[in-house]
Amino acid sequence: MSRRFFGTDGVRGRVGEDPITPGMVMRLGYAAGRVLAAQEHDALHGERPAVLIGKDTRVSGYMLEAALQAGFTAAGVDVRLTGPMTTPGVAYLTRALRLQAGVVISASHNPYEDNGIKFFSATGTKLPDAVELAIEAAMEQPIRTVGPKQIGRSKRVDDAAGRYIEFCKSTFPTDLDLRGMRIVVDCANGAGYHIAPHVFHELGADVIAIGAEPDGLNINRECGATHPETLARAVRKHRADVGVALDGDGDRLIMVDGNGQIADGDRLIYTIARHRKESGELKGGVVGTQMTNLGTELALRRLGCEFARAKVGDRYVLELMQEKGWQLGGETSGHILCLDKHTTGDAIISALQVLAALRSTRRTLADYAQDCPAFPQILLNVRVDKGFKLNGQAPITEAVAAAEAELADSGRVVLRPSGTEPLIRVMVEGRDEAQVQRLAQRIADTVRAVAGQ
């Protein structure tokens, strides 16, 4: 069965357009409630299943939260509300509160005009494909509200932020602290605005918070992990030791060293892996993606770390990590998974793992990550009509083949559709920057011409 609504990271789109309308989101909540209720009926001994709903700071979150509540309660499912909460925070609280599922209302790093719905299972992991397909099938059925006695109820979770803050702190070594460190924390005006600064402050750091004044419209706007140049300026201005940037829903991390240089997900994963390898704590190897820089792969192999590439998307990284029994993996964009600490990618917890490496070795981020060079890598986004297919487009196939032949064994070409936006992502990597730029532009122009843009 093909997917109609779910992408690689839940259901996402522009607010007011299908599927991100109140009516469709209510149907989604109802369908998910029916599927979950059917799965949990026997185990719950007659009790209603319950789900957790968290959201980021987009103004549309109020509307979609109400629609989801209506759908779930109509299906006979109780609802627990956290208010603004990061995606990994919802995953943790779903598991800690022993609920049947967690739901996040967020479009992650996208602008405020977009929003989305993503689900976590009772164990704090992404829903299996089979469950997502079952929910899609249930959305085709009419809404039939359960009897008056069976209608679900909603209530707020007391101190959801405080519980999650304590969990994050528990992942930092008890024999270390952050006293004496000045850290700039950019919360992207998103879900972590009232969480991340407290975590680092309570561990002893002198914290300067930016991007911590959400107004419903400014999430990810020239701040956060998608605009690390803002963090870099702040680190230099405040002469901080390090900077930490989250994205709007708190699952993506980018950092800045004391010199104002940006460290992407590749360099942060290398830093964590290096420290764990040197301290004998690295179990297995490291999983990256098709987009992981070749320089990172080679640097990890020099450390004696095994390395494997998954498809782009944190769910695919997770699947490969679970298949291999490894604990560390992630993406260049800053989705980092430390499965010994959490079930999903978490920007705050990942930052704490980097800081633990720096504190225990008494080294700086710039120094510790210097052995992880980045090969020139160009990523171009080509906007296409929704539904555009790459497969079977001969001119595009020929352009990619020509670029690969020219690069030979000294580079890579990756062409893939975005899982969240109507874009084709063109990535070319190699040792010569001018060559990489020229080949990437040639392929992007070909895609643009074929797509009629």
Q: What is the CATH number of the domain that holds 338?
A: 3.40.120.10
- pLDDT at 130 exceeding the cut of 80: yes
Question: CATH number of the domain that 414 lies in?
Answer: 3.30.310.50
Q: Please report which residue ranges of 52-86 form alpha helices under DSSP H.
A: 60-74
* Separation of alpha carbons 82 and 249, rounded Å: 14
**Residue 55 forms part of a structural domain:** yes
Reported confidence tier of residue 47, pLDDT bands at 50, 70, 90: confident
Position with higher pLDDT, 194 vs 391: 194
Kindly state the average pLDDT of the residues 78-98. Answer: 98
- Do 189 and 254 have their domain in common? yes
Q: What is the pLDDT of residue 36?
A: 81
Question: Does any domain span residue 146?
Answer: yes
Query: Residue 153 above 50 pLDDT?
Result: yes
Give the domain extent around 227: 175-263
Whether 361 has a pLDDT exceeding 50, the answer reads yes
Q: Is 106 a catalytic residue?
A: no
Do 365 and 279 belong to one domain? yes
Residue 43 has pLDDT above 80, yes or no: no
User: Whose CA is closest to 207, among 355, 332, 368, 82?
Assistant: 355
**What does residue 368 show for φ and ψ, rounded to 5 degrees?**
-70, -30
Question: If you write DSSP's letter for every residue of 95-116 in order, what string do you get?
Answer: HHTT-SEEEEE--TTS-TTEEE
- Contact in structure between 347 and 225 (CB atoms under 8 Å): yes
Tokens standing for 226?
């998608």
| Radius of gyration of the chain, Cα coordinates, nearest whole angstrom | 22
Average pLDDT on 254-262 reads 97
Q: Name the most confidently modeled range: 52-61, 118-127, 389-398.
A: 52-61
pLDDT at 42 exceeding the cut of 80: no
Q: Which of 102, 128, 157 is the C-terminal boundary of a domain? A: 157
**The predicted structure's pLDDT at residue 45:** 55
Please indicate, yes or no, whether residues 23 and 145 belong to a single structural domain of this protein: yes
- End of a domain among 125, 157, 189? 157
Let me know whether 144 and 60 are in one domain: yes
Indicate whether 437 belongs to any domain.
Answer: yes
pLDDT of 39 higher than 80: no
Give the closest residue to 117 by CA, choosing from 37, 201, 60, 184.
60
Is residue 425 over pLDDT 90? yes
| Model confidence pLDDT, tens digit, residues 364-413 | 999 999 999 999 999 999 999 988 989 889 999 999 999 999 998 788 99
Query: Is there a domain that residue 164 lies in?
Result: no
How high does pLDDT run on average in the chain? Answer: 94
The whole-number pLDDT of residue 108 equals 96
Structural domains of the chain, count: 4
Instruction: Kindly state the tokens that stand for 230.
Output: 């803002």
Q: Is 265 helix (H, G, I), strand (E, B) or coil?
A: helix
Shared domain for 118 and 92, answered yes or no, is yes
Same domain, 139 and 51: yes
Residues 255 and 273 in one domain: no
Instruction: Find the length of the chain.
Output: 453
Predicted local distance difference test score (pLDDT) of residue 386: 86
254 and 296: one domain?
Answer: no
**Do both 304 and 242 map to the same domain?**
no
| Residue 240 amino acid letter | A
Same domain? For 271 and 393 the reply is no
Query: How does residue 2 score in pLDDT terms, banded at 50, 70 and 90?
Result: low
The residues, ordered by sequence, that sit 6+ positions from 240 with a Cβ below 8 Å of its Cβ are 182, 183, 184, 208, 234, 258
Q: Of residues 60, 106, 108, 350, which has the active-site annotation? A: 108
